[in-house]
Chain A
């Protein structure tokens, strides 16, 4: 879909994954995945739970929010300064969250642990060991509220939980809110799932060889680019859903066309394409195009944070020296559940002093 209204720019980013909290770290040598404690036959990129800045979040949040939420809050906090610098009224700042399983299924998993302590009284054990705040975690809205409070986002909002596609859902909603003048800036926040047995039990967790990673990513969108560095404008976006395998290619082509049409581009006009080269559908579509691997190869499948991490990397390292002073980058996603998405970025060097 072309962004026909106000221009929307990637203004700032924050990432967190096993490579660290700077996108540049994904370009270097990243740690090898390690065997999971509960299933040594599987490899994954586990991440230590981050400490939240106490000047931004109350200490009780560190204690009461589970790791996915803490990762997300950690990234959101790192955008506070950039958001503050925009000097916008809170009601003009949108908040869009990709939170498919934040806090969940931790209540269920707590149930197992509680039953383990009192196997003869499973329900009593569960209820006795469920902290009151888990009522809010059931609703998925607690982390959004913490971000809204800490970063003063009182504009339009949305929380999305279509697993790995939730990042795209949140991003597109944020772009539309800014483009259609419902907000002047938007925070897009996301987190990967926790590496628990539940992740591997869920439908669509992927084939056994999938290497999952823990991480988070957040983006700040605004009507103007950041003061320094190249301008990265969101020039197009599209999404589709593959309900049946025979329509897969048609849906993907339609998504691609929609993403490119606003700038009147053909795929060959796009110099830089970021996609999972191991995805058969994407590989077939892009077989004649130079494709850069996304974050997945370096830090594992990050779920809802995967696409946003890739966008953060493009913003942090627009590579105009490699791709030209003005070029387009296209990021494509295809989830195990059948969602496909495309985000087109227009990147150009700002004039000195601009």
Chain B
């Protein structure tokens, strides 16, 4: 029996091509990919130009929605502000609500990464020896824009101040698991009774040239442009060959059942359980037999006080990376055994790419909509005939299914594993 139940009462989301969660869910249901050719990657002559990126039109919208001067803010902050407003609106909360109760903010993110526009700005201040003239650089008019002053927790600090958070202010840096871990931390803090209200999730902007170059040189990105942009992320398929870089943000409002009931909030779902573990198998993959991923999933189900047969749907990490998908498939077989045939699975990264820290939070929101609507999202580019693990019940069409419990996985580089269990309201 839980000390306190934890309700989800709102969420906000921005993902490639879309500015809200419902549109993203519908788009994936319609089997439309959000992965496109990135014009910048094409301009730079990258061999593979596919990415799930926020485009100029989206940025115009995000900037217009910002309360102050968006041009003076890091893009992460503008994005976080937009998504937070959505989440609060959805939950029926005013921005002042966090000032009035024990509250927390839990945001996952990775480091700020300068893009080429910012690097071009810096290059204007190089001296004859090619060194940066810091004094001149600092004196330029638009000082707020300088990329080297960016902090990994800048968006957290902005939201904490604007919402008037009183208690917990966390920035998680747990690689691709950071979004799920931020939600998990918020859940634990509420369940434990430390706080009543939390905003949690992740903000990630990595679909630019520097991360592309790095992950590409690591061999982690899909190297087959012949699949076409939309066809490159192919989780669990035999011919998968790496992930597609993505970006986006999702924030969820979590509150204790008591707090939600007191204010008459409509619950959208519940956080039932959570687990996170550090492994040390390899930097970019897990135990080949799936045992460490399985351990994480089992611990989350146990934390929820459930038996494994209670899980009806799994939102997989499913990156389209050759080894990771294999590890996760083996882990799923270990955890669910013969029950696997009764469980539907989805891999959202097939449609939106891998938004790293953001992925777990985005996938949590999509899972909540599945719980609400009873629709399992298709995994794009999935064909059972050519799947490596046909025993996994990934569907390639939207499928009606009443779902009460979803397990959502996030397994990060460096062996950062987390799983969360979500339930219907």
Contacts and interface: CB of A to CB of B under 8 A. Distances in A.
A243 B130 contact: no
A154 B412 contact: no
A135 B211 CA distance: 6
Interface in B104-142: 109-114, 116, 119-120, 122-123, 126, 129-132, 134, 138
Interface string A90-132: 0100010001110111011101100111110011001100111
B407 interface: no
B214 A134 contact: yes
A141 B112 CA distance: 15
A243 B99 contact: yes
Interface string B170-206: 1111111010010001001000101000000000001
A88 to B, nearest CB: 14
Nearest to A156: B276
A126 B210 CA distance: 8
B66 interface: no
B280 interface: yes
A326 to B, nearest CB: 29
Contacts of B405: none
Nearest to A198: B148
B134 A197 contact: yes
B258 interface: no
A148 interface: yes
Nearest to B219: A132
Contacts of B149: 198, 201-203
A119 B164 CA distance: 44
A148 B278 contact: yes
B414 A244 contact: no
A35 to B, nearest CB: 15
The number of chain A residues touching the other chain, given as a range, is: 35 or more
A25 to B, nearest CB: 30
Contacts of B192: 176
B412 A139 contact: yes
Nearest to B168: A239
Contacts of A152: 280
B148 A141 contact: no
A62 interface: no
A338 B172 contact: no
Given A140-B111, A197-B148, A201-B148, A154 B280 contact: yes
A149 interface: yes
A3 to B, nearest CB: 12
Interface in A220-274: 239-241, 243-244, 247, 251
A3 B323 CA distance: 41
Contacts of B167: 239-241
A192 interface: no
A139 B166 contact: no
B13 interface: no
Interface string B205-222: 010011101110111100
Contacts of B169: 162, 165, 241, 338-339
Given A162-B153, A339-B169, A157 B276 contact: yes
Contacts of B357: 139
A338 B214 contact: no
B276 A126 contact: no
Contacts of A156: 275-278
A1 B279 contact: no
A166 B171 CA distance: 8
A104 B211 contact: no
A101 B152 contact: yes
A141 B130 contact: no
A161 B166 contact: no
A130 B217 contact: yes
B278 A162 contact: no
Nearest to B414: A141
A136 interface: yes
A204 interface: yes
Contacts of A165: 169
A122 B168 contact: no
B157 interface: yes
A130 B218 CA distance: 11
Contacts of B278: 95, 144-145, 148, 153-157
A104 B277 contact: no
Contact of A154 (B138, B174, B279): B279
A163 B171 CA distance: 9
B120 A122 contact: yes
Contact of A161 (B132, B152, B176): B152
Chain A CB within 10 Å, residue with most, of B149, B185, B211: B149
Chain B CB within 10 Å, residue with most, of A1, A123, A240: A123
A262 B360 CA distance: 35
A131 B213 CA distance: 9
A159 interface: yes
Contacts of A136: 218, 283-284, 413-414
Contacts of A111: 114, 119, 122, 210
Given A132-B214, A145-B415, A105 B111 contact: yes
A335 to B, nearest CB: 10
Nearest to A120: B123
B163 interface: yes
Contact of B110 (A39, A139, A197, A240): A139
A141 B413 contact: yes
B147 A108 contact: yes
Contacts of B181: 158
Given A130-B210, A159-B173, A243-B163, 15 more contacts: A100-B153, A107-B113, A116-B131, A117-B130, A119-B123, A127-B209, A135-B217, A138-B113, A144-B414, A145-B415, A156-B277, A176-B192, A197-B134, A243-B160, A243-B161
6 contacts: A141-B173, A155-B278, A158-B185, A158-B276, A161-B171, A240-B167
Interface of B: 44, 99, 109-114, 116, 119-120, 122-123, 126, 129-132, 134, 138, 146-154, 156-157, 160-161, 163-176, 178, 181, 185, 188, 192, 194, 206, 209-211, 213-215, 217-220, 275-280, 283-284, 292, 295, 356-357, 412-416
Lowest 6 CB-CB distances: which A-B pairs, in order? Answer: A141-B414, A157-B278, A116-B130, A135-B214, A149-B280, A145-B414
